[in-house]
Structure 1
Amino acid sequence: MNKDSENEYIAALTDLHAGLNHKGPGDSDFSYNILQNLSTLPLKPRIADLGCGSGASALLLAQHYQSTVMAVDSSSVFIEELKARAEQVGLEHLIIPIHGDMAKLDWSVGSLDLLWSEGAAYNLGFEQSLKIWRPLLTNSSIAVISEMSWFTDNLPEPAIAYWQNAYPTMGTETENINRANRSGFRVLSTHRLPSQIWWVNYYEPLCQRIQQIEITPITQLVIRETQEEMGLFKQFSDSYGYTFYVLQAA
């Protein structure tokens, strides 16, 4: 895929997800249960949400801590959605929307107490993202990152074939724990996102959105790949999904 085609693909993918509360599998109650147990954080932690989408997590974090959240995403469309949503719920004074590259943050060393990232680390690769982000944290800081993970070593062939193409560095939970340890973290806990959440909060709204968008050759490609992903997950959700890794910088 050349650069122009790649840009068209990204634009079509962005359009498909426009207006969706969750740009990937996630759930505010599930995330809230995790952050409630992050007891080592300061009263007013310095927070960043990387790959924030339209702000489901950023708004949750801002509301819970009543502290400023730097919310970063590469999509200007999603950042504009975040701004509008923050205003709607009266949290615009706590949200700093940043249209930028989460791999190239010019922030000071040790500038964060809490780094949050849901469903975005795969863009860099899990271990690579941890190594890039580790300098932003102090030795007591926490990172909560959700990552596509294999749940078993006995992997079904269709799932292997699909993910070897879509995300070849996808690892088991054990492999990802080892990657975190190598990258300057210790793993405090792991939490698997229930498969039902994928459907209720992400796939079902996505199916409705597919019925609404204008069909072009590039959107047909995006829709076909999305439907393939959904069909695969319906068959093999016991074998893989998102795991939330709660990490402490070591």
Structure 2
Amino acid sequence: MYHVSDITRRLGIARSTLLYYQRIGLVSPARDEQNGYRIYSESDLERLVTIRCLQRAGFSLTQCQRCIEGKMDTAMLREQLLVIEREILHLKTAERMLRALCQRTEGKAPPQTPETDPLRHWHAAFEKQSAQAHLKWLQALGFSEKTATQIRCVSRNMENHEVYMEDFCKVFETMKRQGPGSRQATLSAFRKIENSAAIRNILEIGCGKGETALTLAEVSEAHITAVDNHGPFLHALTTKFTEKNLSRRIQPLVASMLSLPFENRSFDLIWCEGAAYIMGFEKALATWKKFLIPNGHLFVSDAVWLTSSPSAPCKELWDVEYPDMRSLEERCRQAEKAGYLVVDAALLPRQDWQDFYDDMEKNLLDLEDSLGESPVFQDLKKEIAMNRQYGNEYGYACLLLQKKVPV
């Protein structure tokens, strides 16, 4: 629950603005029975986040409300588009005039600002404010949960999303791993679990093509449920464990991490390498805890900053790719707040990142003839170059957590 001060601080708006939203019916907070203060729910906050993000995209409050309620019509959208196009024309005219005057007075024109995709930054800002509100808004537009999640976390493009994801999958389906990691890193983390021999049921979330599931099967006698929402990844996993005669111990399952189909207290260990960001780190920890037995363990790796002052190009990239990236210390605090004991906190070895991007680069070279001009190709090349130059500024936090039992 949130009070007025919580909402105004979270959204950066004046109290009068928030109360105006209430007067015109955009939000209807409850009242505290004891003192009469306004109380805003999580749904109220998500609705307000969506309104503020749509306002930044040029929508009026009336249009925001219609958009949230799924009552958009072509006439309204085209009318707003014409308004924006006229404003852009005026601004471009002003820009050209100012450049001409600077040329006249200074003898040279000011440097051009590098072009960026404003819609990618808009989606990233929305995601940072509230991943859940971002997801709900995309679903209100008619996107499936899987597609909405991919738009949030991968393409950030509602217009050419299908083409982007087709090219993206061409790259990642041919890679050995779908994120930084290694067999040795998985083994190292698993061996830090006290009495690991007693583990009987493991859930791996975001398993990709199954390298981690196979490693966990090597070092335990547990039954492993390997979940991913991308069928081709699970097909590759099935081929691997069939070859290794592990069909009875590894169960692949196409499912969303946002709505896992399991009973509470079903697993001794939950394992998630590099995929918790899709839900949001804090929400993932809070949601998955119910699936663990008392004193059960959760291993999660997540991208973190290794410096408090990252280089500008590096920060610009990750502000879009992972808006909620934090420090290792902050992730540990969040885990403790969510009801976990931090058993171990370490960083993924730098070599694992190097190996991951070497593999990606090799696959991009193999696909260059077909993907060389695609946005995916350019985005991934940029990510590789960023890691080579600034890889010491960020890494993966590897957290082994244990579910606390209430006293």
Shorter chain as denominator, the TM-score bin is over 0.9
2:291 pairs with 1:136: yes
The CA distance in 1 between the partners of 2:286 and 2:257, in whole Å, is: 12
For 1:9, the aligned partner's letter is Y
Show the counterpart of 2:360: 206
Paired residue for 1:182, among 306, 328, 337? 337
- The C-alpha deviation readout for 1:45-97, integer Å capped at 9, x for no partner, is 21011000000111111121122100000110101000001112221221100
1:41/1:113 contact within 8 Å kept: no
Task: Extract unaligned runs of 5+ from structure 1.
Answer: none
1:63/1:91 contact within 8 Å kept: no
Show the counterpart of 1:222: 376
2:226/2:253 contact within 8 Å kept: yes
Alignment of 1:105-184 (within 5 A): 105-184=260-339
Paired residue for 2:240, among 71, 77, 85? 85
Paired residue for 1:102, among 251, 257, 261? 257
CA root-mean-square deviation: 1.7
2:392 pairs with 1:238: yes
The CA distance in 2 between the partners of 1:15 and 1:183, in whole Å, is: 37
Q: Specify which structure has the higher proportion of strand.
A: 1
Structure 1 residue 233: deviation in Å? Answer: 1.1
Show the counterpart of 1:19: 174
2:306/2:393 contact within 8 Å kept: yes
The CA distance in 2 between the partners of 1:99 and 1:4, in whole Å, is: 26
Structure 1 residue 7: deviation in Å? Answer: 3.1
2:190/2:196 contact within 8 Å kept: no
2:199/2:269 contact within 8 Å kept: no
Q: Which moved more, 1:180-189 or 1:110-119?
A: 180-189
Compared with structure 1, are the counterparts of its residues 29 and 216 closer, same or farther at alpha carbon in structure 2 (3 Å cutoff)? Answer: closer
2:202/2:270 contact within 8 Å kept: yes
SS of equivalent residue, structure 1 residue 215: helix
Structure 2 length-normalised TM: 0.58
Structure 1 length-normalised TM: 0.93
Q: Specify which structure has the higher proportion of helix.
A: 2
The CA distance in 1 between the partners of 2:259 and 2:346, in whole Å, is: 28
SS of equivalent residue, structure 1 residue 211: helix
Percent identity among equivalent residues?
Answer: 26
The CA distance in 1 between the partners of 2:398 and 2:389, in whole Å, is: 22
Structure 1 residue 105: deviation in Å? Answer: 0.6
For 1:10, the aligned partner's letter is M
Structure 1 residue 212: deviation in Å? Answer: 2.4
1:140/1:248 contact within 8 Å kept: yes
2:181/2:352 contact within 8 Å kept: yes
Structure 1 residue 182: deviation in Å? Answer: 2.0
The CA distance in 2 between the partners of 1:192 and 1:223, in whole Å, is: 28
1:181/1:187 contact within 8 Å kept: yes
SS of equivalent residue, structure 2 residue 198: coil
For 1:165, the aligned partner's letter is V
For 1:223, the aligned partner's letter is F
The count of aligned residue pairs is 248
1:180/1:186 contact within 8 Å kept: yes
SS of equivalent residue, structure 1 residue 237: helix
Structure 1 residue 6: deviation in Å? Answer: 2.1
For 1:166, the aligned partner's letter is E
Paired residue for 2:209, among 54, 57, 62? 54
SS of equivalent residue, structure 1 residue 225: helix
The CA distance in 1 between the partners of 2:392 and 2:347, in whole Å, is: 11
Q: Over alpha carbons, which structure has the higher Rg?
A: 2
Q: Which moved more, 1:146-155 or 1:34-43?
A: 34-43
For 1:106, the aligned partner's letter is P
The CA distance in 2 between the partners of 1:2 and 1:154, in whole Å, is: 29
SS of equivalent residue, structure 2 residue 342: strand
The CA distance in 2 between the partners of 1:36 and 1:42, in whole Å, is: 10
